[in-house]
Copies of this chain bind each other. A is one copy, B any other.
Amino acid sequence: MFTLIQLESFVAVAEELHFGAAAERLNMTQPPLSRQIQLLERELGSQLFDRTSRKVELTDAGRTLLPSARQILDMAIKTELDVRRVSLGEAGAVTVGYTAIAGQSALPKLLRRAADEQPGVSLILRELVSTDQMDGLVKGAVDIGLLRPIVARPGIVSRPLMRDRLVIALPADSDLAGDGGPVALRALDGRPLMMYSTAEARYFHDLVLRLFASAGAHANITQYASQVPALLAFVEAGLGLTLVPASAQGLAPSGVQFRELEPSRGIKDLNRVDLEVAWNENNTNPAVRRLLDLLDTPPEDEGPA
């Protein structure tokens, strides 16, 4: 694993394209700078610069690294500032975890109410899959989780926040649209399917596959995305169809239409998308308590009437 010093060295050379000038900028001499770059190249197994005594140019690998290097360094600086800020006794920090889907529904609400009613609270927002949120809640790294119901862990309490279901998103001119009524899942057999990325929305990925399997239909996945608007954009573009939470219909481009899943045997029970708010009962942060109170509403089923 490389060091941040090596990344800084790399960025300086990549921007100056001259080892001597870069060294001067970093307040060091050229030879150790040269060696840091070589160490980095060895670490990454990649030549980062094509260089002679007269020219220094970035390779493809170097050009790939540069924006990421900058981003990592920026994050390191920002992180240092965040930690100092909290440490200096500013308003309590609350770390909120949310799933990709909660980011489209429950999170905006929480943000709104927090901004209105608790302007002094510093929210640290982390998009995490539900299992990682639960780990974070157990360990104290996450104060509040917006996650799907999973196996309870000792010390973690939760409460229903939202209940939803999946609906079919079709291109405007799809032959599957019919008269506007529910569509059988079997009718989706073999159609190009826009699917949730397993890294960011594994629950939905798995739920969709379970729905297909229960209907004996083949899920022909041709594209992945982690965000519902991206999936819907693919549908609008005619790349295929997808299943999204009913609550996401408000995000739809105009060239997308929605249909309910026909509630055949097995589908009705499977097609359930719950969202909970969870926290660690040993969490003593009063700002967390206050945020939880903001979310103290009964479950609601969202979707068009």
A1-29 CB contacts (< 8 Å) to partner B = 1-5, 14-15, 17
A60 is an interface residue with CB less than 8 A from chain B: yes
A31 is an interface residue with CB less than 8 A from chain B: no
A45-97 CB contacts (< 8 Å) to partner B = 45-47, 57-61, 63-72, 75-80, 82-84, 86-87, 92-93, 95
A250 is an interface residue with CB less than 8 A from chain B: yes
Known contacts A64-B124, A124-B67; is A223 also within 8 Å of B115 by CB? yes
Task: Count residues of chain A with CB under 8 A from any CB of chain B.
Answer: 70
Closest to A136 in B: B67
Closest to A116 in B: B239
The majority secondary structure among interface residues of chain A is: helix
Other-chain contact of A112, B76, B80, B140, B239 (Cβ < 8 Å): B239
A149 is an interface residue with CB less than 8 A from chain B: no
CA distance A72 to B250 in the complex (A): 34
Chain B residues lying within 8 Å of A223, measured Cβ to Cβ, are 115
Closest to A224 in B: B115
Residues of chain A at the chain B interface (Cβ within 8 Å): 1-5, 14-15, 17, 43-47, 57-61, 63-72, 75-80, 82-84, 86-87, 92-93, 95, 108-109, 112, 115, 124, 126, 136, 139-143, 223, 229-230, 233-234, 236-237, 239, 249-251, 253-255, 285, 304
Chain B residues lying within 8 Å of A63, measured Cβ to Cβ, are 93, 95, 140-141, 143
A44 touches B80 (CB 8 A): yes
Instruction: Among A47, A68, A93, find the residue whose CB has the most chain B CB atoms closer than 10 A.
Output: A68
